[in-house]
C-alpha cells in the first residue's frame, strides 16, 4: 500500500507588521514537528506568508505589491526550502505571486507543491476569486481578492509526485464541485487546499454560524464524490480584528474526517493516508468510466 504520512500545519493569526522572516520561522517550527511525527509532506494555508491583506482597500499599487513575492524561493523563503531539503519533507505553500508575464506585471493567489528534494514540482493559481473589486465601506472589513488578483491561468493541474497523483486548490475553490471533479477526472488521489475564511460573511451574516459546517461539508463531499484525500489548512484566529475559521482537517476518500485542529493557533495535525484506499471509491460507486454520463451534463460547461 502507498501510505503517506501527511501534516496539516494550521497557522494562527499573522499580524500586519509581522515580517516574512518571522512567519517563515513559524513555518519551519511546524515543519520540524511534522518531520518528528514522520510526515512525508506538510501543507500550509493560503497566503501563508502575510496577513490576509485583501481585508483592506489599497489604492497605491506599490503598497499592494509589498504583499506579493517576486521570486519563490526568495531571500526570506529560501530557509524554508533549505530546511525541507535537509529534513527530506515535501510541502504545499500558499502565497501572493507577482510575476512578469507578457511584458506586464501579473498578480495571482498562488500555491506550490515542493517535493522532498526541495524542487517545485507543481504550481496552481486560484481560479475562483471571491469577494469584490471596489471599496465597499458598508462592510466591517473588505474582501478585495477580485481587485488584487487575476483569475488563475493554469487551470486545475495534477502532478505525479510523492508516490501518487497530487492536486491543489485554494480557499473559495473548495466551495465549487467543479474544482474536485476536474481534479478527480485527472485521477487525483490527494488535494491540498489552504484557506483564509472569515467567520463573518457580510453579505449574509445569518450564515456566520454555519462557516465551520460549510467548510467541512464541501471538503467531505469533494473527497467522497471523487475518491480523494483532502488536506484543508486554515489561517485561523483573530487576525487584525477579523475572526478566521480554523478546523483544519484531513479528509479520507470516504469523506470521513480523520484529523482536525482544535485550536485557532499554529497547530499541526497528522494522519497516515493510504493512497490505495482511493480505489474503494474510484473503482466502484464513483467509477467514472462505468457510471458517469457526461453527455447529460452539457449545461455545466456550455452555460
Ligand atoms: N475566503 C472565503 C472562502 O471562500 C468566503 C471567502 C467566506 C466566501 C465565506 C463565502 C463564504 O472561504 C477566501 N479566501 O476565499
Q: Does residue 195 have its Cβ closer than 6 Å to ligand 1?
A: yes
Q: Does residue 197 have its Cβ closer than 6 Å to ligand 1?
A: yes
Atom of ligand 1 nearest to the CA of 128: 15
User: For residue 98, what pLDDT is reported?
Assistant: 98
Q: 106 near 98, Cβ under 8 Å?
A: yes
User: For residue 267, what pLDDT is reported?
Assistant: 99
CA dihedral 5, 186, 223, 210 (to 10 degrees): 120
- Distances 135 to 55, 58, 127, 185, 239 between C-alpha atoms, Å: 10, 9, 21, 38, 20
Atom of ligand 1 nearest to the CA of 126: 15
**Pocket-testing residue among 143, 176, 233, ligand 1, by greatest number of atoms within 8 A of Cβ:** 143
3-state secondary structure 114-171: ECCCCCEEEEEECCCCCCCCCCCCCCCCCCCHHHHCCCCCCCCCEEEECCEEEEEEEH
CA–CA separation, 187 and 70 (whole Å): 32
User: For residue 21, what pLDDT is reported?
Assistant: 98
Q: Does residue 201 have its Cβ closer than 6 Å to ligand 1?
A: yes
Helix axes of 211-226 and 177-184: crossing angle, nearest 10 degrees: 30
Handedness of CA 88, 52, 148, 98 (dihedral sign): negative
Nine-digit cell string for 298: 452539457
Q: How far is the CA of 283 from the centre of ligand 1 (A)?
A: 33
Q: How far is the CA of 240 from the centre of ligand 1 (A)?
A: 17
Q: Does residue 187 have its Cβ closer than 6 Å to ligand 1?
A: no
What is the CA 217 to chain-centroid distance, rounded?
16
Tens of pLDDT along 235-280?
999 999 999 999 999 999 999 999 999 999 999 999 999 999 999 9
User: For residue 177, what pLDDT is reported?
Assistant: 98
**Spans of the chain below 70 pLDDT:** none
The radius of gyration computed from the CA coordinates of the chain, to the nearest angstrom, equals 18
Q: Does residue 172 have its Cβ closer than 6 Å to ligand 1?
A: yes
User: For residue 154, what pLDDT is reported?
Assistant: 98
Options 35, 39, 46, 235, the catalytic residue: 46
Clarify whether 171 is annotated catalytic: yes
Q: How far is the CA of 247 from the centre of ligand 1 (A)?
A: 14
Q: Which of 91, 83, 92, 85 shows the shortest CA–CA distance to 117?
A: 85
90: Cβ–Cβ under 8 A, 6 or more apart, which residues? 40, 41, 42, 84, 113, 114, 115, 116, 161, 162
Mean pLDDT of the chain: 98
User: For residue 57, what pLDDT is reported?
Assistant: 98
CA–CA separation, 303 and 298 (whole Å): 8
For the residues of the chain, what is the DSSP string, one character each?
Answer: --EEEEEEEEB----TT--HHHHHHHHHHHHHHHHHTT-SEEE--TTTTS--GGGS----HHHHHTTSBSSSS-TTTHHHHHHHHHHT-EEEEEEEEEEEETTEEEEEEEEEEE-TTS-EEEEEE-S---S-SS--TTSSS---HHHH-PPPSS-S-EEEETTEEEEEEEGGGGG-HHHHHHHHTTT-SEEEEEE--BS--TT-GGGGGGHHHHHHHHHHHHHHHHT-EEEEEEB-EEETTEEE----EEE-TTS-EEEE--SSSSEEEEEEEEGGGGHHIIIIIT-HHHH--GGGGHHHHH-
Amino acid at each position: 500500500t502507498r501510505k503517506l504520512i501527511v501534516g496539516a500545519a494550521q497557522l494562527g493569526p499573522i499580524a500586519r507588521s509581522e515580517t516574512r522572516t518571522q512567519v517563515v520561522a513559524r513555518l519551519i517550527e511546524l515543519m520540524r514537528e511534522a518531520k518528528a511525527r514522520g510526515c512525508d509532506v506538510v501543507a500550509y494555508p493560503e497566503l501563508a506568508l502575510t496577513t490576509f491583506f485583501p481585508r483592506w482597500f489599497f489604492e497605491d499599487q506599490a503598497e499592494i505589491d509589498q504583499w506579493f513575492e517576486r521570486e519563490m524561493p526568495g531571500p526570506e523563503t529560501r530557509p524554508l526550502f533549505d530546511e525541507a531539503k535537509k529534513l527530506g519533507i515535501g510541502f504545499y505553500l500558499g502565497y501572493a505571486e507577482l510575476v512578469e508575464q507578457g511584458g506586464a506585471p501579473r498578480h495571482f493567489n498562488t500555491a506550490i507543491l515542493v517535493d522532498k528534494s526541495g524542487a517545485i514540482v507543481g504550481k496552481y493559481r486560484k481560479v475562483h476569486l471571491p469577494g469584490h473589486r471596489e471599496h465597499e465601506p458598508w462592510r466591517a472589513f473588505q474582501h478585495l481578492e477580485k481587485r488584487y488578483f487575476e483569475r488563475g491561468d493554469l487551470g486545475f493541474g495534477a502532478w505525479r509526485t510523492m508516490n501518487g497523483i497530487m492536486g491543489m486548490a485554494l480557499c473559495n475553490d473548495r466551495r465549487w464541485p467543479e474544482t474536485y471533479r476536474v481534479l478527480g477526472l485527472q485521477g487525483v488521489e490527494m488535494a491540498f487546499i489552504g484557506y483564509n475564511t472569515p467567520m463573518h460573511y457580510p453579505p449574509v451574516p445569518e450564515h456566520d454560524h454555519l462557516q465551520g459546517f460549510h467548510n467541512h461539508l464541501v471538503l467531505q463531499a469533494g473527497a467522497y464524490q471523487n475518491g480523494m484525500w483532502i488536506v484543508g489548512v486554515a489561517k485561523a484566529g483573530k487576525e487584525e480584528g477579523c475572526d478566521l475559521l480554523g478546523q483544519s482537517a484531513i479528509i479520507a476518500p470516504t469523506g470521513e474526517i480523520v484529523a482536525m485542529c482544535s485550536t485557532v493557533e499554529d497547530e499541526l495535525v497528522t494522519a497516515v493516508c493510504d493512497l490505495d484506499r482511493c480505489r474503494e471509491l474510484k473503482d466502484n460507486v464513483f467509477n467514472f468510466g462505468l457510471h458517469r454520463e457526461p453527455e447529460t451534463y452539457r449545461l455545466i460547461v456550455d452555460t
